[in-house]
């Protein structure tokens, strides 16, 4: 079974994808992760991707697809997390899978209202020293803005600032809405209310992918 998880930043796609992949024995493919890995390991594709990144350009779709192809298990069984993001990427992914006699079986859209996303992301604080992650409302440190583990002052990442989050949501909407239609027309899109508690979302997710 090959699944695609769509949804705005902060919808919890990555968290749920990791857990589901582990439970069902699927491979979790996050394009950000495989890109970083290929660059770090200086693979031929990683070196090519780094050239674009160093120039501040987007890594072309063909290169992303080639990177995915490298890590795809021969028999499939993958969760694509946050990819594809555009119709062109979806079509390229379809072509690549088709060559292998596979297809995207289900697409899960993690539906979350903007205000919930803004609250989740803008409240996040990270420790610049040990990498621990907190949330000022849902998972606050014992001492205000100080890391429980190492005592370092916590920081808010630039891309978690409210105005940046709202901008990211705008970009997501422009890019992804046509994609939602694309998969709806294929009859494989499932909408999931991802504003609920993490455990409730996971139980619902297991239900929708197994029916």
Catalytic residues: 13, 85, 124, 157, 168
User: Largest Cα–Cα distance of the chain, in whole Å?
Assistant: 55
Mutual angle of helices 61-71 and 44-54, in 10-degree steps: 150
Distance of CA 176 to the CA centre of its chain: 13
Chain-centre distance for alpha carbon 36: 14
Torsion of CA 60, 15, 205, 37, to 10 degrees: 30
Give the total residue count for the chain: 211
Helix (H) or strand (E) holding 182: helix 162-186
Would you say 110 and 158 are in contact if contact means Cβ atoms under 8 Å apart? Answer: no
Rounded Cα–Cα distance for residues 75 and 130 (Å):
38
Cis amide bond preceding 182, omega within 30: no
């Amino acid at each position: 079974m090959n699944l695609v998880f769509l949804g705005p930043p902060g919808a919890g796609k990555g968290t749920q994808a990791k857990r589901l992949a582990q439970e069902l024995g699927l491979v979790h493919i996050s394009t950000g992760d495989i890109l970083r890995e290929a660059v770090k390991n200086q693979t031929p594709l990683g070196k090519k991707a780094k050239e674009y990144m160093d120039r501040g350009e987007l890594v072309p779709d063909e290169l992303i697809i080639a990177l995915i192809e490298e890590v795809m298990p021969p028999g499939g069984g993958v969760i694509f997390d946050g990819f594809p993001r555009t119709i062109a990427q979806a079509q390229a992914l379809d072509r690549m899978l088709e060559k292998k006699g596979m297809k995207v079986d289900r697409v899960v859209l993690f539906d979350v209202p903007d205000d919930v996303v803004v609250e989740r992301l803008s409240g996040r604080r990270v420790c610049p020293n040990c990498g621990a992650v907190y949330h000022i409302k849902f998972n606050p440190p014992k001492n205000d803005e100080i890391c429980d583990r190492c005592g370092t002052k916590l920081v808010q990442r630039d891309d978690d600032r409210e105005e940046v989050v709202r901008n990211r949501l705008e970009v997501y909407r422009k890019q992804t809405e046509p994609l939602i239609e694309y998969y709806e027309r294929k009859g494989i899109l499932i909408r999931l209310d991802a504003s609920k508690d993490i455990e409730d979302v996971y139980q619902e997710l297991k239900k929708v992918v197994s029916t």
